[in-house]
Structures are given as structure tokens and as C-alpha cells.
Amino acid sequence: MIKMVAVDMDGTFLKGTNDYNRARFAAIYQKMLQKEVKFVVASGNQYYQLKSFFPEIAEDISFVAENGALVISEGRELFCGEMALSLVQEVLAFLETLSDVQTILCGRHSAYVSEQEKTEFVEHGRIYYHRLKVVPSLLTLTDDTFFKFALNVPVEATEEMMALLNQKFSGKIVAVTSGHGDIDLIIPGLHKANGLTILQEKWGIHEKQVASFGDGGNDLEMLRHAGYSYAMANGSPEAKKAAKHQAPSNQDEGVLVILEELLGEEHNDQSTFN
């Protein structure tokens, strides 16, 4: 029986239009409320961006944002990771030696980008970071709690860059990708599954009672973690290998399709969400 549903957003819950079928989800959400099933948004994106997708219920649901670095449930912060400032500056100094790497530094109160970055990168970043400040230099920032770097590199260089960063900062940071040349540098152990565990402890929910949906490399831990896990048809080979099941693509509203099936499915006269 499922008591908690966790969904990635880009490439999973959201269609290519950067939106979802709101009326269809609203009906599903009402059924979840009736069955006391928790709904969790688990994404690498910024909390302030994620909550904007759910204006009516943002204070009633939970968010595992920034790939697990920030957990907010029903409007209350439960967890916030933190990188040492010395590590932040060490990573930034190394990134400056690399070509074709664009960087956003992510903090609790805002994300930050250097005024030296290309305008197209900054404007694209605003889609995922509703709080994004352009500053003279990332190296001089100290007045925030920093927990993630969001990088963009040429798509063909993604795997090589991840290997380089994981080797250079082994034990200090972990590089994960959500595809399209996007790489997140996160605090070791602060992935989406860790965020789900924090929420499970709050509610007394076992992994076997969790359903998760994802499509990329930053979803792997969450997909392995949940008793019911679904990789999207459009997902990466790694996501499909990590998940126990497959869902239709995000373009076909796969998350909503599966949730409707689970809500209506009968097992010994009892719903999966019973």
C-alpha cells in the first residue's frame, strides 16, 4: 500500500511545455487526500520555482528541492544542507580554470550567477531559479547558506566533466546529471532519497509504502529507494535500470496515468493506496 508519492519535475511530471495537466492532477490529488497519501515534489530545482507550480496547495505538500539539499514540508523547513565556505571557494576557483563551464551557485535565500556569464545562460537559469541574483563575482559571496552548484557544459562533455569533478573533489562533492549538459555538484549523501527519508521519518512511512517517479541521473537513489519506482519512457538508461517499473513518457502524462491506475487498482479487494 502506498502512503507517499514523490515526483521529479523536468522530464517527469512536467511536459515539454514546462507545465502539466492541472485539472487531471487536481482530481488525482483529491483522491490522494481522501486516502491520506502524501505528495512530494523531488527536484534539482529551486524551492521558490517548484512551489510556483502548485499555488493552491504549496503550503499543504512537501518539497525535496535542490536535489535533496533543502526539505520543506507544509511550509516548514525540515532540513537545509550547507557546504563550508572554504569548499565553495575551492570549487569555484577550479571551475574558473575550465573552459565551456557555466556556473550558478545555489543558496538557501537565492541562487547567484556572475555578471560575466552569457545573457542567454542567465535568462535560461531564471526558468529554474526564480530567485537568481547577478553579482560581480561568486568568489566574494559569503552571506548565505550554500549547498549546490548548478553547471552547464556541452552535452558531449557531460560524462567526462562529471568524472573529472568526482575525481578532483572525491569525498567532498558529488557530480550528478539531469541531462542536456546540466550537472549538479551536491553534498555527498544529500540526494533525493535522503530527503524522502527525512519526510518518511516525520510521518512514519516505510520505503515499501513510497512511489517515486524520475527520468535522469539525479533520480537514481530515489528510484532505488522506493518500493514502487517508475522510470519514464523518455528517461535515461540508468534511470530505467534503477527503477522497478516503467511509466509512459512525460509527454504522455505518464505520472498521472500511473497514479490513476494505482488509485483504481484492486489487490484482494484493497486499493494500492489503501
Q: How far is CA 249 from CA 27, 146, 178, 232, in A?
A: 20, 34, 16, 5
Name the pLDDT band for 274 (thresholds 50, 70, 90): low
pLDDT tens string 205-234:
999 999 999 999 999 999 999 999 999 999
182 is catalytic: no
Backbone phi, then psi, for 134, in 5-degree steps?
Answer: -90, 125
Q: Which CATH superfamily groups domain 4-80+190-271?
A: HAD superfamily/HAD-like (3.40.50.1000)
Domain boundaries, the chain: 4-80+190-271, 85-186
Nearest to 149 by CA among 167, 127, 172: 172
Task: Tell me the CB-side half-sphere exposure of residue 135, using CA atoms within 13 A.
Answer: 18
With a cut of 60, say whether residue 189 has pLDDT above it. yes
Nearest to 129 by CA among 193, 64, 66: 66
User: Would the CATH topology of 4-80+190-271 be identical to that of 85-186?
Assistant: no
Reported as type and span, the H/E element at residue 111 is strand 111-114
DSSP 203-243: HT--GGGEEEEE-SGGGHHHHHHSSEEEEETTS-HHHHHHS
Are the C-beta atoms of residues 234 and 12 closer than 8 Å to each other? no
Q: Which of 3.30.420.10, 3.40.50.150, 3.30.1240.10, 3.50.50.60 would CATH assign to domain 85-186?
A: 3.30.1240.10
Nearest to 102 by CA among 58, 75, 138: 138
Nearest to 75 by CA among 95, 61, 87: 61
Are the C-beta atoms of residues 214 and 235 closer than 8 Å to each other? yes
pLDDT tens string 46-103:
999 999 999 999 999 999 999 999 999 999 999 999 999 999 999 999 999 998 999 9
User: Which residue in the list 8, 10, 144, 182 is annotated as catalytic?
Assistant: 8
Reported as type and span, the H/E element at residue 44 is none
pLDDT tens string 131-157:
999 999 999 999 999 999 999 999 999
**How many residues does this entry show for the chain?**
274
Are the C-beta atoms of residues 38 and 73 closer than 8 Å to each other? no
